[in-house]
């Protein structure tokens, strides 16, 4: 199951605030259309635009979505945008025809053709997303209509194009609009008054500005409107507030921005008001280099652990390079004043401080165990040991699939114990230990199984069945050292087959509910 630490936290947070109502509790007055195999095409295909949810009644996330989806349907009904739903436990073939692999799955239909839905799961995010879908990717506007157009979303990109469609700038921005129609509103005007509205000085030249419902209301682009990459970078940067609350809804926006993320954890409104203004000044100074966010410790304090901060000690501050999994925690014994945070961030920018790696203490006699318990401090010497092939499980103690695998993995360690000079069977708890930067790898879900080959440390991902027989076979085929493939006892073979039959379906259904 491929989920990052914060993705799991985000999912939990959504569960707290969403009402657990069944997707099947719609009343007779429901504005959500109930669709099935017999009438699906007749209802959906004639619609220019429609949103359909594919769900299962037992799915917890579907139950959380239900009231929000219902409210969105009522709001959008007034705009002639219909919402429907399909119960995949009753219409499995229909759901399979649209490659539905998890619940809920939402798809946008345009005259019967399906497209992935990339919006949120609240009334507000669903409505905004579908409104964008109902508009042209690049709308022509009257100068007098710019203000109303910009109010339709938190951010709108407006261009002034005196030559209209007959320009290289139009083609470049239109291409950008088509690529990002799910993310932002795009519009243009040929009227000189539009240039004046956005703050451009020369009405003879094209101009582009971002209109926002936060920070500065208008920000003018100072580059070439024929440079699509530069415009995209500008819009992406200006689409994120100087310092906003991080939530499950916007977290991936920050992750996808590709720049470091600085968290300020606060426990009370008083703490936020005391230190926030000073940290916001630092955020404005370094906006082009990194993003700053407020993080409500009452809701997401557990995330502090993943940033090497002590939880329940607030306020707190840390910088996180999300993609690399690196973090720089600010000393929690020091008051996070504007000057202190500015000094800390400056040192980070100048690469004067090293990232902090979380690690447990190495267990005594770890090498004597059938499965070597690796920790952050011993990863390099054990896993990146070029004299041995190392087959390692990255796990979390709370992970149900990891618990199921545990006895099989212990048996695997026993089978290879007499070849410990060539092969190491190991495991690492990623909730308590970080991978070092030189590991050259990231782990995004649990359990993750990988073979680090002897001689060159080449990594081979294991994606097969988790039976003892298959694990042994994988190591035998991929190990760099010459090893003797141990014989799997007959009782373990039978047990493995029984587990495939008895647990395979259950495990698959559980994953569908989480995705």
Task: Work out whether strand 105-110 and strand 50-55 pair parallel, antiparallel, or are unpaired.
Answer: antiparallel
Give the residue among 282, 283, 279, 249 at the shortest CA–CA distance from 265. Answer: 279
C-alpha radius of gyration, the chain, whole number: 27
- Check if the beta carbon of residue 159 is closer than 8 Å to that of residue 52: no
CA atoms within a 13 Å half-sphere pointing along the CA-CB vector of 386: 4
- 3-state secondary structure (DSSP) of residue 391: strand
SS3 302: coil
- Cβ atoms 294, 246 nearer than 8 A: yes
Distance between CA atoms of residues 318 and 26, nearest Å: 44
Distance of CA 29 to the CA centre of its chain: 35
Bridge partners (DSSP) of residue 220 are 209
Residue by residue, what is the 3-state secondary structure of 86-146?
EECCCCHHHHHHCCCCCCCEEEEEECCEEEECCCCCCHHHHHHHHHHHHCCCCEECCHHHH
Residues in a beta bridge with 52? 84, 107
**Whole-angstrom Cα distance, residue 330 to residue 319?**
8
CA 117 to chain centroid = 15
| Residue in the block written with tokens 């690796």 | 374
What is the C-alpha separation between 356 and 351, in angstroms, rounded?
13
**Distance between CA atoms of 164 and 186, rounded to whole angstroms?**
14
Candidates 216, 176, 224, 177; CA nearest to 199 is: 216
Judge contact between 446 and 470, C-beta under 8 A: no
Rounded-to-integer distance, Cα 321 and Cα 304, Å: 14
Active-site positions read 59, 62
CA dihedral 291, 294, 296, 297 (to 10 degrees): 70
Pairwise CA distance, residues 67 & 21, whole Å: 7
C-alpha to C-alpha distances, 257 to 3, 21, 252, 345, nearest whole angstrom:
18, 34, 8, 19
Length of the chain: 515
- Per-residue buried b or exposed e for 26-40, using 16+ beta carbons within 10 Å of the residue's own CB: beeeebbbebeeeeb
């Amino acid at each position: 199951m491929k989920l990052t630490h914060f993705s799991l936290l985000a999912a939990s947070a959504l569960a707290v605030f969403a009402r657990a109502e069944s997707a099947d509790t719609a009343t007779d007055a429901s504005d959500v259309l109930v669709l099935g195999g017999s009438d699906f095409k007749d209802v959906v295909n004639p619609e220019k635009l429609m949103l359909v949810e594919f769900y299962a009644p037992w799915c917890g996330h579907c139950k959380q979505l239900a009231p929000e989806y219902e409210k969105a349907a009522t709001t959008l009904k007034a705009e002639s945008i219909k919402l429907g739903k399909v119960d995949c436990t009753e219409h499995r073939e229909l759901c399979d025809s649209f490659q539905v692999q998890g619940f809920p799955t939402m798809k946008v239909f345009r005259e019967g053709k399906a497209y992935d839905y990339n919006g949120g799961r609240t009334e507000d995010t669903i409505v905004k997303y579908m409104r964008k879908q109902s508009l042209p990717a690049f709308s022509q506007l009257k100068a007098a209509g710019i203000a109303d157009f910009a109010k339709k979303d938190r951010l709108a990109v407006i261009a002034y194009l005196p030559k209209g469609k007959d320009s290289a700038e139009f083609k470049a921005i239109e291409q950008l609009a088509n690529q990002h129609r799910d993310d932002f509103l795009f519009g243009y005007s040929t009227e000189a008054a539009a240039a004046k509205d956005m703050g451009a000085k020369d009405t003879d030249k094209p101009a582009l500005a971002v209109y926002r419902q936060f920070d500065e209301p208008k920000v003018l682009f100072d580059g070439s409107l024929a440079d699509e990459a530069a415009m995209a970078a500008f819009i992406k940067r200006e689409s994120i507030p100087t310092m906003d609350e991080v939530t499950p809804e916007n977290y991936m926006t920050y992750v996808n921005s590709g720049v470091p993320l600085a968290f300020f954890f606060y426990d009370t409104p008083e703490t936020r008001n005391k230190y926030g203004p000073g940290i916001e000044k630092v955020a404005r100074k370094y906006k082009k280099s990194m993003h700053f966010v407020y993080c409500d410790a009452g809701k997401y304090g557990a995330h502090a652990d993943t940033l090497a901060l002590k939880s329940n000690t607030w306020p707190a501050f840390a910088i996180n390079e999300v993609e690399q999994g690196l973090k720089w925690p600010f000393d929690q014994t020091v008051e996070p004043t504007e000057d202190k945070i500015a000094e800390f961030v400056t040192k980070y920018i100048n690469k004067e401080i090293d990232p902090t790696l979380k690690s447990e203490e190495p267990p005594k006699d770890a090498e004597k165990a059938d499965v070597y318990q690796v920790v952050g401090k011993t990863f390099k010497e054990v896993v990146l040991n070029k004299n041995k092939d190392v087959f390692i499980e990255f796990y979390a103690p709370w992970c149900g699939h990891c618990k199921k695998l545990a006895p099989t993995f212990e048996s695997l360690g026993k089978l290879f114990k007499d070849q410990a000079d060539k092969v190491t069977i190991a495991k690492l708890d990623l909730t308590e230990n970080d991978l070092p930067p030189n590991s050259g790898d990231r782990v995004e879900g649990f359990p993750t199984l990988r073979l680090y080959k002897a001689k060159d440390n080449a990594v081979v991902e294991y994606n097969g069945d988790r039976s003892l027989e298959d694990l042994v076979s994988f190591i035998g085929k991929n190990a760099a050292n010459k090893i003797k493939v141990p014989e799997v006892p007959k009782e373990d073979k039978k047990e493995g087959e029984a587990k495939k039959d008895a647990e395979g379906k259950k495990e698959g259904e559980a994953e569908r509910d989480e995705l």
